[in-house]
Each structure stands twice: as C-alpha cells, then as structure tokens.
C-alpha cells in the first residue's frame, strides 16, 4: 500500500485539487476534463448512475473519473452544482479523504487518486473525483438480478462490511449497486459520497438493513419474492465472523 492518507493540495483555476502524494509531481488540471482524455484516446468506457463516469487507461494505470451529480428533487435546481460551505466540506475532498484513510488501513475500497472542485456560479461549486479502476467485476445488483451471485460472495460481502464498520466507515448509500464482486471472488465497496467515520453502534444494523432492502427490491424486480433467506443468512454469518464484539452485537 502507498501512503495515500496524506494528499497534496494544488491550486486549480477557480478552486483546488487534492492529489495522492505519489502523483503530486504529475498533477494536471486536465485530469478532470473528459474531453482531454477523449482526445488522448484514453476513454475506454462510460458509466451511469447519478454521476457521469468515465473509465480511463492512463500512463499511471486504470482510473475512473466521476463528476458529482445531484440526485432527487435537488437536481431540478441544478444537477452539477452544490452549495459552497468551505473547501474541507466539498463532496470531492471529503470523499477523497475518507477513501484515503480506508485504503491506507488496507480496506477494500478504490484507491483515491485525485479530487477537485471549482467555485461558481456563486454561491455554488462543482466537483470531480479520480480513483483507481478495480479489477474486472460486476455489481451485486447485476448478479442478484440474474440470481447469479456466486455462493462464496455472500459471506465475503458480510466480512467486508464488518471490516468497514469496525473501522467506523458509515456508507450513507449502501445498496447492491455499490458492492462489487470481482471475477476473482474479491468484494469491494465504492461510492462513499457523503460517507463519514463514526464509532460503531446501532447505525451498523441500519446500514445492513438498507442493503437488504436494496437486494430484496432487485430480486422482486426480477420476478422473485426477494433475496433468499439462506443467502442473507450467509452474508450475516460472514459479517459476524469478521466483526469484533462491539460491532457484531449490533448486527
């Protein structure tokens, strides 16, 4: 692991960027411009969801560029701008720092590469995040929709969530689309936008319940009654196996 927990701040026209110290010497404002990557032939795919996502092949490895976009009713006012309340509270810097801490602790999250924000129009800002691209994978939502989740993935997902909860990582949007199951059986969790750290407690139970609702919804949309009781029991078994007492007692 590289020491990504301490990012390097660089000025950016109208804002600033935060870069992994190992890449600070190569930092370039154009990293946050999809058209620049497209002109360089580096874009190898696009993603959906709330954020505009570009998958990149760069001289530094595979990266993912995400532009923050608003969801819900707020996007009626603006899909790409957020109210300015200070640099440390920008969506990009906050998520970068949370990911950097978790990654430095050896947890299965994407390695943060760089984050950026630009002010304007007043009193708003827009933001971007660059992370490493994970090995080939599919979301738990995709696999659950096809009733094709590999049997070992249930317990492994539980173990991963237990480790994150033990580290105090509160994922505010833990759903089946944010859990990735690798072709090699590994499990990663992504999209920690608005996530934060807190002491383990009853919120861990609510976090798991949120994932269960997401899985049940996915299964029902595919014509099943919900995720199987045995499958969910496997996830909880893996969770309790990996969680320390102060966490497992809340599951």
The predicted-structure confidence for 91-101, as pLDDT tens digits, reads as follows 999 999 999 99
Do 21 and 127 sit in the same domain of this protein?
yes
Q: Which residues lie below 8 Å from residue 170, measured CB to CB, with a gap of 6+?
A: 195, 196, 197, 198, 203, 207
Full residue range of the structural domain in which residue 144 is found: 137-248
Question: How many folded domains does the chain comprise?
Answer: 2
Q: Which residues of 70-83 are buried (b: 16+ CB within 10 A; e: fewer)?
A: beeeeeeeeeebbe
Please check the confidence at residue 7 and state whether its pLDDT lies above 70: yes
Do 53 and 125 sit in the same domain of this protein?
yes
Do 76 and 162 sit in the same domain of this protein?
no
Query: For the chain, first and last CA: distance in Å?
Result: 30
Out of 2-6, 98-102, 121-125, 199-203, which region has the weakest mean confidence (pLDDT)?
Answer: 2-6
Is 81 domain-assigned? yes
List Cα–Cα distances, 133 to 72, 105, 182, in angstroms.
Answer: 27, 19, 12
Encode pLDDT of 178-191 as tens digits: 999 999 999 999 99
Is 1 domain-assigned? no
Q: Which residues are catalytic?
A: 173
Please tell me the predicted confidence (pLDDT) of residue 76: 46
pTM beyond 0.85 = yes
Q: What is the mean pLDDT of the chain?
A: 93
CA angle in degrees (0–180, nearest 5) for 48-111-237 = 85
Is 2 domain-assigned? no
């Amino acid at each position: 692991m590289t020491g990504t927990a301490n990012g390097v701040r660089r000025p950016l026209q109208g804002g600033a960027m935060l870069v992994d110290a190992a890449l600070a010497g190569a930092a370039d404002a154009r990293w946050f411009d999809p058209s620049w990557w497209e002109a360089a032939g580096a874009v190898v795919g696009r993603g959906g969801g709330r954020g505009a996502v570009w998958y990149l092949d760069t001289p530094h490895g595979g990266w993912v560029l995400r532009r923050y976009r608003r969801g819900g009713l707020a996007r009626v006012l603006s899909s790409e701008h957020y109210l300015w309340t200070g640099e440390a509270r920008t969506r990009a810097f906050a998520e970068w720092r949370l990911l950097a801490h978790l990654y430095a602790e050896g947890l299965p999250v994407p390695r943060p590469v760089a984050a950026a924000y630009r002010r304007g129009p007043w009193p708003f800002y827009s933001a971007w995040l660059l992370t490493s691209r994970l090995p080939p994978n599919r979301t738990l939502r995709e696999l659950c929709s096809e009733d094709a989740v590999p049997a070992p993935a249930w317990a492994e997902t539980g173990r991963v969530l237990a480790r994150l909860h033990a580290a105090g990582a509160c994922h505010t949007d833990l759903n089946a689309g944010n859990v990735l199951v690798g072709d090699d059986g590994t499990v990663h969790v992504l999209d920690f936008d608005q996530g934060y750290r807190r002491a383990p407690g009853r919120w861990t139970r609510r976090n798991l319940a949120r994932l269960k609702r997401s899985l049940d919804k996915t299964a029902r949309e595919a014509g099943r009654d919900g995720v199987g009781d045995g499958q969910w029991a496997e996830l909880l078994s893996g969770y309790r196996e990996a969680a320390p007492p102060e966490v497992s007692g809340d599951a």
